Chain A
Amino acid sequence: MPITQPAPVRKAVVVGGNRIPFARANGAYTETSNLDMLTAALDGLVARFGLADERIGEVAAGAVLKHSRDFNLTREAVLGSALSPETPAYDVQQACATGLETVLSLSDKIKLGRIDSAIAGGVDTTSDAPIVVSEGLRRAVLELSRAKTVQQKLKALSRIRPKDLTPVAPGTAEPRTGLSMGEHQALTTKQWGITREAQDELALASHRNLAAAYERGFFDDLLTPYRGLTRDQNLRPDTTPERMASLKPVFGRHLGAEASMTAGNSTPLTDGASAVLLASEDWAAERDLPVLAEIVDGEAAAVDFVHGKDGLLMAPVFAVPRMLARLGLTLEDFDYFEIHEAFAGTVLAALAAWEDEDFCRERLGLDGAFGKVDRAKLNVNGSSLAAGHPFAATGGRIAATLAKQLHERTRAGDLGRPARGLVSVCAAGGMGVVAVLEGR
């Protein structure tokens, strides 16, 4: 008997999302683990869509700062949630792009007919970050475990030096350059001539847009309060340009007067979790579930930041033109842009690069400038500068927020076609993942 071929490619849609409010590091979720937060995000999603006891096709999530005991973090979260324990799960780790990557890879599985439903997500905590022992101690302990005689054991122990006993906390430094993400961005920010004023203005808009979204109840069905937190802890609805301007630079201080990156226009370390319910159209229809948007396409890219060819966080600049060329779209064809605000400078450098004719010709291989992003369409419900950025949770936050925005706009009917949204997330290691969503 011939093998039955997989079904032809079908559509994958966003049904809805859920996240817990994001907390500042050592804030509301100090005593909370990645597992606790991811489970809470899943349970909120389950409650919103009545999925208790439901066997979901697959759940994928991850954490950037992950303890080795959490090798099966997502599966453990599923087992702790109200979902059917027969729901399989796997962990993904792609730095800050983890969340968006889970959305895209699960969408692909749905499109190929391998699963009908999925939950994509991510979680991160810097408050409950894993602490590891020093390399010296680790080697000595491993050698000790291999030692057979007393003499060998003593020899192994004798290799331990007092400095080896200091634990090592995870940092955001790039292993190959030793520079922190902020220091890398400081170089890019300067290279593209991004001013302090422009960065502060973007940060201010992020806070205002996020606060306005909360005010109009936009997050009522995207967020489930957790541990007494009902809004993102980092949000400052009443912050002013003056207060922004008064902050001292924290990155690129070697640049002296040109240093422009402050705690206000850089994302703070944050704790939080998010989850997105994805499905085939049939699965959603059978359960009378809403369909907010379609996951149209996605693309990953990486840059050679090690040799200084491009900035660490500039990979999305390359990914977007490649993806849009494939789809036959330009920046003008989009109604919403969700560009992850790792730093205000990251977003502004990407916009500047796409408007730069020489860069676009030489580095992107285009005929001229790639195009201009209408700032009125950018991060309209706030982004990471205001909400915070629990690394792996950001992709889920953006996907669900954008899907709902696209749905509302499409239903408004004023465009005469479905609303389109572009997502761009930069990541450590010089990587970036981007995606296109279309409203329903």
Chain B
Amino acid sequence: MAADKYTQFVSRGWGRDLAKRLGLPQPVELRRHVPDAPLVPGPVLLVGTGEGADAVETALKGWDVEVRRDAGTGRAVPSAAQTAAHDGGKAPSSSGPPERRERLGAIVLALDGIGAPEGLSAPFLAAGAALRSLAPGGRVVTLSRRSSTADEPAVAAARSSVEGALRSLARELRSGATGNGILLAEGVPADAPSALGALRFLLSGRSAFVDGQFLTVGTAKGEVPADPERPLAGKVAVVTGAARGIGAEIARTLARDGAKVVAVDVPAAGDALAKVANDVRGTALQLDITTPDAGERILDHALHRHGGLDIVVHNAGITRDKLLANMDAARWDAVIAVNIAAQLRINEALLASDRFRDGARIVSVASTSGIAGNRGQTNYAASKAGVMGMVRSTAARLAATGGTVNAVAPGFIETDMTARIPFAMREVGRRINSLQQGGQPVDVAEAIAFLASDAAGGISGNVLRVCGQYWMGQ
């Protein structure tokens, strides 16, 4: 899971100096999840007051994180941030004895009480003043309310303003730091399990390649896992397309988080599939997901071999790229059949069973191509946009039974597939995001593992991008 060669080159020694002098992109190795490591690489500056700020403070302290409060009124700037608000490693220019420079692990803005656009000024300026002391791999997380058509115009404006400000702030961050937000639906308390679950995920190394994104918490459902290192303990998860690449990493990550994994892939990939299944101490199911009874066979395997089914990850996907002018029916139809039609059919079969329906967790892999479009991928983008449509519709259906369905949209991820892209295109592809590098398969897997967990029980119908804040689309 090493960083690409360019990132390694500009991360240390004279390569770093050279890149700095020439103004070249300076990606750094991202802070990723390490078992039992601290949640954030330093104390958290909590900006704001009210219900949200109090809930966040209580949660952070419960996670053994040091908290610095700032009311966000523009007057009380904490000493830690103040002394550290100078860049370049030089000693503070104040006349007193130089204080030990403190690096903030994260800045959390509790903005759930904002009622007008003017209210954003103080908290964002306070955060801005502290930005330079944010540690490498630090986090900025906003907690605010989702705007809706039912809001007063000023309230809606203020709530939407948060999104614009955060997305811009995220683009200004350097050294592997990211900025993301949590949107609470009306009536969902700030200490709802999924609000705190999302906060923990966004602060942690698990969200390394998630940048400039918002997670919407729609309900107060969900549960905080007993053991944060094994949030999927006791769950049975099916992962399609698990023989290699992102799918194999999803299987490994779900297993690491405690799940029993059924690794599914086409019979022709059985060799690699067996290795993955044995690695994660799960089982291999050689199955073409486009066969009409694929859903029944998955359910049958999970119930008979593992006594249940809790999580389904629709990861299997194919590309058959051609400009539309050159596209043939075989290419178009194959992509639709595997990437979306099979998922629809399998969901239909699984959700017909009361062994899966209650508390079901479905996570689909979409793609940024499905959001922004991509030349030569009309078929693929159609299928992936279809996945997002399916997720939104299915979420409504699952609401009654406590199930959730979400999608993860990866951007440029370093896999065997992207390694085959011609060099120049690949270099461009991996640099045109805020983190100036491609993500790793595990970054996608971490997002899926979070959405599949009990902590995400109040999050449904979301499409979470794992793209390092790709330049295109939201």
Contact = CB atoms under 8 A, between A and B. Distances in A.
Interface stretch (B144-152, B278-286, B437-445): B278-286
A421 to B, nearest CB: 24
Contact of A225 (B263, B268, B279, B304): B268
A78 to B, nearest CB: 13
Interface stretch (A216-224, A328-336, A343-351): A216-224
Interface in A212-246: 217, 219-221, 223-227, 230
Nearest to B261: A50
Interface in B405-459: none
B305 interface: yes
A210 to B, nearest CB: 15
A225 B284 contact: no
A49 interface: yes
Given A288-B305, A288-B307, A50 B282 contact: yes
Contacts of A289: 305
A156 B345 CA distance: 77
Interface string A284-311: 0000111000000000000000000000
B278 A230 contact: no
Contacts of B286: 220-221, 224
A47 B287 contact: no
Contact of A48 (B275, B283, B291, B307): B283
Contacts of A219: 267
B268 A47 contact: no
A220 B268 contact: no
Interface residues of A, number: 24
A132 interface: no
Interface residues on B, range: 20 to 34
Interface string A154-188: 00000000000000000000000000000000000
A268 to B, nearest CB: 23
Contacts, number: 68
Contacts of A48: 274, 283-284
A399 to B, nearest CB: 20
Given A225-B271, A230-B267, A52 B305 contact: no
A53 B268 contact: no
A220 B271 CA distance: 12
B85 interface: no
B270 A223 contact: yes
Contacts of A217: 267, 291
B307 A47 contact: no
Given A44-B270, A47-B274, A230-B268, A290 B281 contact: no
Contacts of B267: 217, 219-220, 223, 225, 230
Contacts of B263: 47
Nearest to A49: B283
A227 B271 contact: yes
Contacts of A52: 277-279, 281-282
Given A46-B274, A46-B278, A225 B307 contact: no
A266 B254 CA distance: 49
B65 interface: no
Given A44-B274, A225-B271, A290-B304, A220 B284 contact: no
A-B residue pairs, 10 tightest by C-beta: A47-B274, A82-B278, A47-B284, A47-B277, A50-B283, A224-B270, A52-B281, A230-B268, A225-B270, A44-B274
